[in-house]
Structure 1
Amino acid sequence: MAYIDLLSAIHKSTPRDYLARVNDPDYPKAKAAELAKKWDFDYWDGDRKICYGGYRYMEGRWEKVARAMVEHYGLKEGDRILDVGCGKGFLLYDFTRVVPGLELSGIDISRYAIENAKEEIKDRLTVGNATSLPYPDNYFDFVYSITTLHNLYCYDLDKALREIERVSKKNKYICVESYRNEEEKANLLYWQVTCEAFNTPEEWEWWFEHTGYSGDHSFIYFE
Structure 2
Amino acid sequence: MAEFDFVSDLHNRTKRDYISRGVQIDKAHCAEVSKQFGFDYWDGDRKYGYGGYRYDGRWRKVAERIAETYALRPGQAVLDVGCGKGFLLYELTQVVPGLVVSGIDISGYAVANAKEEVRPFLQEGKAQELPYADDAFDLVISFGTLHNLPVYDLKKAVQQIQRVTGRHAYIMVEAYRNEQEKINLLNWQLTCESFYSPEEWAWLFAEWGYQGDYGFIYFE
TM-score of Structure 1 vs Structure 2, range by shorter chain = over 0.9
Match of 2:176 in 1: 179
Aligned-partner SS, 2:142: strand
Match of 1:124 in 2: 121
Aligned-partner SS, 2:127: coil
Query: Would you say 1:97 and 2:94 are equivalent positions?
Result: yes
**Distance (Å, rounded) in 2 between the aligned partners of 1:109 and 1:49:** 20
Alignment deviations for residues 83-136 of structure 1 (CA, whole Å, 9 cap, x no partner): 000000000011111111110000000000001100111000010000010100
**Distance (Å, rounded) in 2 between the aligned partners of 1:129 and 1:210:** 22
Q: Aligned ranges for residues 1-223 of structure 1 at < 5 Å?
A: 1-25=1-25, 28-59=26-57, 61-223=58-220
Q: Give me the TM-score of the superposition, normalised by structure 2.
A: 0.98
Question: Is the 1:82–1:144 contact (alpha carbons within 8 Å) kept by the matching residues of 2?
Answer: yes
RMSD of aligned Cα (Å): 0.7
Consecutive unaligned residues in structure 2, runs of 5 or more:
none
Moved beyond 4 Å, runs of 4+: none
One-letter amino acid of the structure 1 residue matched with residue 46 of structure 2? R
Q: CA deviation at 1:24?
A: 2.8
Count of paired positions: 220
Q: CA deviation at 1:206?
A: 1.4
Aligned-partner SS, 2:56: coil
Aligned-partner SS, 1:172: strand
Consecutive unaligned residues in structure 1, runs of 5 or more:
none
Aligned-partner SS, 1:145: strand
**Distance (Å, rounded) in 2 between the aligned partners of 1:23 and 1:158:** 32
Q: Give me the TM-score of the superposition, normalised by structure 1.
A: 0.97
One-letter amino acid of the structure 2 residue matched with residue 156 of structure 1? D
**Distance (Å, rounded) in 1 between the aligned partners of 2:201 and 2:93:** 31
Aligned-partner SS, 1:218: strand
